[in-house]
Structure 1
């Protein structure tokens, strides 16, 4: 196994850029080239064939994958790869850290809904090299291969969905700039109402459209936008709800339940999984949010954050 290091500020996109999940790709991470991190792509080759890659940001003697995304981790460019290939790649990464006096490394892997066997190999290889689980988060997703949205609904969610339909709500894809802004404004209002930060600007979201599909949706009540969602296409059969929310002044209309069902039906013909996102932060669960997503029939999987402290590792050895 051989390791090539590519600086993202001067790199052209890889010819195999379509491989892997959106957040793991060099092109996505290049959107954040001015974030204060040195962005590098590690390309692991076997017999001169690209097998694995990993994009990370380096800052203040720490390496992070991701540095500005929900998750990072390795892209597999050749399949199948053995566990020994992963172990060799992680050992090369560790050697890079030592040689460049990088003291800490953090890698957040995708949740298991994106492919448990692939993620299991990464976890094993990283732990074999001394990485430890820093924390795990609960991640929720909808399996779109179910016959219908109703299949997984709990009783309380079924009642809320029925109630939402009695209000004659309207769901639609935003197909012009004005409605895209309207959808974003609903999300922004929801975050202000709840006192939560909104990390991505509308410009950030639209920049991703150059790389992959980004869909905006609105739920209207009597001509007024009361709920919306933003969804990225993460890979061929995967989508992720980046943002969704409602104007809490209309909570009694249960528009989020209506939105969830319509997102399920919209993506069912073209995707297998719709990632709804985490309901915990750095290992601390939002119990109410977990309960809500479980009531919708979401599956729960773990998203692991692993860390390596080179100083502590050397002291133990």
Structure 2
């Protein structure tokens, strides 16, 4: 049986996080976006645990992040440990009179072994698998400056020829201008942003937030990349976008190239470039663009269940 425990007790059992979105520091920042945060574990076994938020009667992990998922003592859990935990999770939903649950697992980049067993167990136990989102990431260990297609380097040269430059920025003015570029980019594609610039910069209290801009010769921001360094070997691309009217200048080609080199020089192993689909619907052009830049394509799974 699963029981709710205090933050202190939960953290006595689970001292490390598979990723930043289930860390206490992150949960503290976003807990006001749900009705209540619960920390669940089995009475007699601390092999697995779950931090989730209850929102409108539904248990959610995440409740305000790209993905959530489980804590575990190590990634090589026995299959029956995982299966029993998910069975008890159903019973917890029933016992508490909740409407259901929704859990989005991290991409395989973070926990391939656990995901394989979790996905199998979710399906076998009758959870509903939402159409998986397509996500992309790049292996910097094997990045040598050569691209899947030569057109990437051609576009980088075009950007330089037009006087575009890439740099990390720390001044508020550049960040505000860059945020407006991202905002327009998303609006023109019919997508919303759920974070203000202040929300974004407030994450600096939790993890380093890197803000990169591509500017033209008039010092106007044409492209933006925002990354979280919340993992020892993986950085996350949170927002990347450009001025759609000037996209033919090779803005994002230049952004990708310099960001890859920047993090490779920092001895980062991987860049998680997020999803290339929305609620399961693929953005074919974005997938192609990322794959041209040596990205690996994989799946991110979400499961739901209602009694």
Decide which moves more: 190-199 or 128-137.
Answer: 190-199
What corresponds to 1:158 in structure 2?
153
Decide which moves more: 214-223 or 165-174.
Answer: 165-174
What corresponds to 1:170 in structure 2?
165
Report how far residue 234 of structure 1 moved.
3.5
Q: How many residues align?
A: 304
Residue in structure 2 matching 1:290, options 287, 291, 295: 287
Please list the CA deviations of residues 8-38 of structure 1 after superposition, one character each: whole Å capped at 9, or x if unmatched: 7xx7993655422011223313322222432
Report how far residue 244 of structure 1 moved.
0.9
SS for the counterpart of 1:187 is helix
Partners of 2:178 and 2:224 within 8 A in 1? yes
What corresponds to 1:117 in structure 2?
113
Unaligned runs of 5+ in 1: 311-317
Please list the CA deviations of residues 231-256 of structure 1 after superposition, one character each: whole Å capped at 9, or x if unmatched: 01242111111101112232231110
Cα–Cα, structure 1 residues 140 and 189, in superposed 2: closer, same or farther, change >3 Å?
A: same
TM value normalised by structure 1: 0.87
Partners of 1:21 and 1:75 within 8 A in 2? no
What corresponds to 1:149 in structure 2?
145
Partners of 2:235 and 2:268 within 8 A in 1? yes
SS for the counterpart of 1:236 is coil
Please list the CA deviations of residues 137-194 of structure 1 after superposition, one character each: whole Å capped at 9, or x if unmatched: 11011111113232x4324333322322323422111234343333323322333444
Residue in structure 2 matching 1:31, options 29, 35, 43: 29
Distance 2:68 2:163 in 1: 41
SS for the counterpart of 1:145 is helix
TM value normalised by structure 2: 0.89
Distance 1:283 1:242 in 2: 18
Please list the CA deviations of residues 267-308 of structure 1 after superposition, one character each: whole Å capped at 9, or x if unmatched: 113311111111111221111111211121210000111111
Partners of 1:7 and 1:39 within 8 A in 2? no
Partners of 2:228 and 2:235 within 8 A in 1? yes
Distance 2:9 2:168 in 1: 33
Distance 1:302 1:111 in 2: 6
Unaligned runs of 5+ in 2: none
Distance 1:186 1:168 in 2: 19
SS for the counterpart of 2:131 is strand
Question: What is the Cα-based RMSD across aligned positions, in Å?
Answer: 2.4
What corresponds to 2:38 in structure 1?
40
Cα–Cα, structure 1 residues 198 and 297, in superposed 2: closer, same or farther, change >3 Å?
A: same
SS for the counterpart of 1:290 is helix
What corresponds to 1:5 in structure 2?
4
